[in-house]
Amino acid sequence: MTSPEESPASTPAPRLEQTRHLASAIPGPVSRELMSRKQAAVSVGVSTTMPVFATRAAGGIVEDVDGNRLIDLGSGIAVTTVGNSDPRVVAAVATQVAAFTHTCFMVTPYEGYVAVAEQLSRLTPGEFEKRSALFNSGAEAVENAVKIARTYTGRDAVVVFDHAYHGRTNLTMAMTAKNMPYKHGFGPFAGEVYRAPMSYPFRDDPAMDGKLAAKRAIDQIEVQVGADNLAAIVIEPIQGEGGFVVPAPGFLAGLAEWCRSHGVLFIADEVQSGFGRTGTWFAVEHEGVVPDLVVSAKGIAGGLPLSAVTGRAEVMDAVHAGGLGGTYGGNPLACAAALAVIETIEADDLLARARRIEEILLGRLRDLQAGDPRIGDVRGRGAMVAAEFVDPTTGDPDAALAKAVAAHAHAEGVITLTCGTWGNVIRFLPPLSISDELLTEGLDIVAAGLAATR
């Protein structure tokens, strides 16, 4: 691995020291000042996990306006997978921004967009001819995947799952499971979206293996929707906001097989789980499942806004000419960044790095779990790992504990995110560029937070 300090001389080194450092309380005075400006200028609807304002970030560190250096266990919600301001991404974007910033691909196209689509054809699962379309956000790409599936199948209904998160636009709010904060008061929502039971091994009956969980979902879909009305199943292979729920082995394959035999498209929302995060390019690969359409975003472009729908050529080309697009979709800067991200993941073997991070995360969290019954479950793959907190006697979700542990980490300079339907899960999403030392130090602080709440 190349640390930011060792990056090639031809690319600008971020020179951000890779150590945690507390120069002030969290938040410090400059962040406090900015937070009061935020309150006076930014809608209260847009909230922040930590009340500190960033100035620079690289490797495994985010530096704030008060000179604090925070350990990054969040990657801006699974976005800066190759590391923040990775020198190769910076150089690619700098070259592109100096050449041209925008023409609109629908007006005068450019090579970068096509090159990203070619790479997606190569990297997504499935040995068949593929096409892609590029967009700006995860939600926008999920919406477009549904549009494409409806056109191809001539059917309306879409099935999503308990605990699912697919975005905040109208259609994707309908697809997202959790009311607060994502949906509350924002309806009415788009129709023809149906919810099926997810495989959630920690909370399912132990006898409910992947096959049975798939059968449970399929039975409900057949009764409540009917395969003939169903365009697609949309599923996160490992759920993100919903709690890093890893379905039981065989669940995804069971659903995919049923889809195939009923002319229903299987769409993998890999917005959070994709692009190397779990140690493979896409998380469905762990289950040997080949989706008809794959949705990418977040990690694809190292922080520049880019998303994609990639899939079977006959499906993607069922749409009428001009039916897909948008002013900024596949913006040239974002495409340049994505090509550099792909090159970086391959050159630095970041898939192996994600698997090494998995060992560290799972190993440490399982050790903690062995001595602390409040950790009900430890799960995840690669650099997408979580601990679920419960009341040890009842098994009920313990959101207050997750919140207290995260607050302790924040005060000590570790960016830690929570998630889960009940808010009782702490998730670990470090950039793959983090050092073992910083990752271990971050985990030490989380462990100390846990001990402090006993």
Select from 47-55, 248-256, 267-275, 344-352 the region that touches ligand PLZ (CB under 6 A).
267-275
Q: Which one, 201 or 243, has the nearer CB to ligand PLZ?
A: 243
Select from 106-114, 135-143, 185-193, 322-330 the region that touches ligand PLZ (CB under 6 A).
135-143
* Contact between 241 and ligand PLZ per CB under 6 A: yes
In order of 23, 100, 408, 443, the CA distances from 412 in angstroms are 11, 42, 6, 12
Q: Report in angstroms how near the CB of residue 239 gets to ligand PLZ at its nearest.
A: 7
* Contact between 168 and ligand PLZ per CB under 6 A: yes
Tokens describing residue 440: 């271990």
Buried b (16+ CB within 10 A) or exposed e, 316-340: bebbeeeebebebbbbbbbbbbbbb
Sequence-separated (6 or more) residues with CB below 8 Å from residue 212: none
Q: Report in angstroms how near the CB of residue 173 gets to ligand PLZ at its nearest.
A: 11
* Contact between 240 and ligand PLZ per CB under 6 A: yes
Buried b (16+ CB within 10 A) or exposed e, 118-128: ebbbebbbbee
Whether 70 contacts 413, CB under 8 Å: yes
Q: Which of 209, 269, 348, 358 binds ligand PLZ (CB under 6 A)?
A: 269
Q: Which of 84, 96, 137, 424 binds ligand PLZ (CB under 6 A)?
A: 137
* Contact between 272 and ligand PLZ per CB under 6 A: yes
* Contact between 243 and ligand PLZ per CB under 6 A: no
- CA 183, CA 45: separation in Å to the nearest integer? 12
- CA 185, CA 156: separation in Å to the nearest integer? 25
Residues 276-315 that bind ligand PLZ (CB under 6 A): 297
- CA 85, CA 93: separation in Å to the nearest integer? 10
* Contact between 153 and ligand PLZ per CB under 6 A: no
Q: Which residue has the tokens 């995804």?
A: 252
Residues 208-237 that bind ligand PLZ (CB under 6 A): 236
Tokens describing residue 435: 């050092």
Residue nearest to ligand PLZ (CB): 138
* Contact between 166 and ligand PLZ per CB under 6 A: yes
Tokens describing residue 354: 């994600």
* Contact between 139 and ligand PLZ per CB under 6 A: yes
Q: Report in angstroms how near the CB of residue 312 gets to ligand PLZ at its nearest.
A: 21
| Residue numbers at the binding site for ligand PLZ (CB under 6 A) | 77, 137-139, 142, 165-168, 236, 240-241, 269, 271-272, 297
